[in-house]
Amino acid sequence: MIVDHKYIQPKVVMHNCDKPHGINVGPLIDNLKNNLSWMVRQQQQQSIDTPIYNPHRIDFPTRGLCLLVKKSDEIHRFNQLFKDRTIKKRYRVFIYENQNDKDKEIEKDGEEKEKLRVGRYIHYMKPSKSTIKQLSLDKVDGWHDCILDIISIGKMEIVWDIFSFELLF
């Protein structure tokens, strides 16, 4: 930012970034550069040592808005908001409907089957630092609630350029 003919590092920079599907938010063990954090660093001409924190993950096949944080104290504050349930994530999910699968049912509780419909789906996850998670359909003390509220179901045609996204400053 230029103020009085001098460059001043802005305190808050907004990146409006629609993460395309097929790209990770952060680096993986075997892929340091093919991720959104790396692309933001390149766009801003920052070194690999410049920290960029990912307060949440958007899966590889998922497209959407994601938040990247530059300061460690802010990432802790943001994570605390999730922990306190002050903020929530809301997603719009699109699934491909294969004409052959049109009348198939989803499996629930092992044996009972039902069609996906509007409503609340809950399972529980054991707290763990491991990426492999233990899940249960029964409530277990100390485990996290994983709640999915399906608000509506409908048909929609989606057309987009897979790799077009823009960083706005």
Model's pTM, two decimal places?
Answer: 0.48
Q: What is the pLDDT of residue 168?
A: 39
Q: Is residue 167 pLDDT above 50, yes or no?
A: no
Helix (H) or strand (E) holding 57: none
Domain boundary assignment for the chain: 1-95+153-169, 118-151
Q: What is the pLDDT of residue 32?
A: 74
Per residue in 8-63, pLDDT tens? 555 545 555 566 667 777 777 777 777 877 777 777 776 667 778 877 767 766 76
Residue whose token pair is 């419909």: 117
Beta bridge partners of 69: 53
- CA pseudo-torsion sign 124, 56, 71, 30: positive
Contact 169, 13 (CB under 8 A): yes
Of residues 1 and 99, more confidently modeled: 99
Per residue in 94-152, pLDDT tens? 666 665 555 555 555 555 455 678 888 899 999 988 778 899 999 999 999 888 888 88
Single-letter amino acid code for the residue at 12: V
Q: Which fold has domain 1-95+153-169?
A: Alpha-Beta Plaits (3.30.70)
Q: Spell 76-102 as b/e; 16+ CB within 10 A means b.
A: eebeeeeeeeeeeeeeeeeeeeeeeee
